[in-house]
Amino acid sequence: MIKKLGFICMIILGGLIVHECSPTAPTEDTGSPSSVVFGDITGGGAISLLFGTGFQMFFNLPTNNGIIQGNYACEVILKTNSTITPTNYWELYIIVDDILDFYLSKLLIRNNTQTNITTYLNTFKFRNGIHTVQPWLRVTYQGISYYIIGDKVSVTISNLFTVLTNISDPADDWHGIKGDLFNPAANGADGTYLDGIQDITNVKVSAAGGNIRFDLSMPVISTAWSPTYGFDHVCFVIYMDDPSKTGVTDFPKQNSEVPLGMANWDYQVFCQGWGKAVYSSVGADAGTFGSSTGAPDLTVNYVDNIVSIIAFSDTIGNPATLDGWKFYVTTFDYDGISSDYRRVGITNSIPDHQFHSSQALLFQGQDYTNAKILDWIGPVLINY
């Protein structure tokens, strides 16, 4: 006689049962993990032979209000008090934010025993904040994968950033690669292009695992045009080189390329007053941005004139380490109306097809093909 499945799936938070659930059976692939086949885990049939009765799965998570850091050890406890068929290897999956993070294979679960499994969740791969963690258990029987799916438990990842480098940059060196670029005449049509508004005086770089933070000190920060992200008249573009990848050498739309000491770039962090994005080098060339991978975090400290930019690990390929990476920070200005970097030129020196904004908002220079870079720091090698 085949018994109806009667297991309990319990997730324990700090030693207390906070969820008790019956088995669930998704009707479609949720993407965690991808390309799986969901069997009938509602009881009866072959499934009761697989999981038996009285099966329990416990997921121990932290007692400190669900806050986890670093390479966090969590314990999964599997208990059986009846016959399981077959008594062979199973697989345990850990799902974070509905995406497969990692799995452990070849787990031998025996009859009437308790199996304790310690797993390590590398929180450095994720951005700080609230995330969900969920255990899945899989066994394959007659060519079909069956799963026990635990409830999601919320945790808060809170990793501290470690300072990697702190670099000062000379004041008033924001006049371009050739030293011949200046703000629009009369500081622009409305006089809001203040002197030094694109001048970086210091960059502090910090990391929490694969998340990287740039604190950019400026002599002045403008909000004259009511920008969405807290600053205007400057665009920060940061290029990063992952030594394990081969990227491209051209800086998209900046009439420039990687400097000496930097082989290529793989990720570009782009921040201006009304837009922010992280791009990979895939599809990028001299005239085209690469593929978008997400958006950075932006904050502004008006007391100390610091713009802070965080590129999250999941937007730069979830690197196992940032050691050996290089970065190159640049400033210019971006014309949101024309969706292009602001033009360069002197009166009557620019062909008609080059005009993307009013003459009063053109940067002054001797050549409209100048590199669209006013100030820069780098390339700098990261030792982490």
pLDDT per residue as tens digits for the range 94-129: 888 888 877 777 676 666 677 778 888 888 888 888
Tell me the three-class secondary structure of the chain, residue by residue.
CCCCCEEEEEEEECCEEEEEECCCCCCCCCCCCCCCCCCCCCCCCHHHHHHCEEEEEEEEECCCCCEECCEEEEEEEEECCCCCCCCCEEEEEEEECCEEEEEEEEEECCCCCEEEEEEEEEHHHCCCEEEEEEEEEEEEECCEEEEEECCCEEEEECCCCEEEEEEECCCCCCCCCCCCCECCHHHCCCCCCCCCCCCCCEEEEEEECCEEEEEEECCCCECCCCCCCCCECCEEEEEEECCCCCCECEECCCCEECCCCCCCECEEEEEECCEEEEEECCCCECCECCCEEECCEEEEECCCCEEEEEECHHHCCCCCCCCCCEEEEEEECEECCCCEECCECCCCCCCHHHCCCCHHHCEECCCCCCCCCCEEEEEEECCC
Low-confidence ranges of the chain (pLDDT < 50): 1-49, 87, 347-357
Question: What is the value of pTM for the model shown?
Answer: 0.77
pLDDT at 281: 98
Same fold, 6-157 and 162-381: yes
CATH classification of 6-157, choosing from 3.40.50.2300, 1.20.900.10, 1.10.3720.10, 2.60.40.10?
Answer: 2.60.40.10
User: For 53-91, how does the pLDDT look when each residue is reduced to its tens digit (9 = 90+)?
Assistant: 556 676 676 666 788 888 888 777 777 665 555 545 678
Q: Where are the domains of the chain?
A: 6-157, 162-381
Architecture of domain 162-381: Sandwich (2.60)
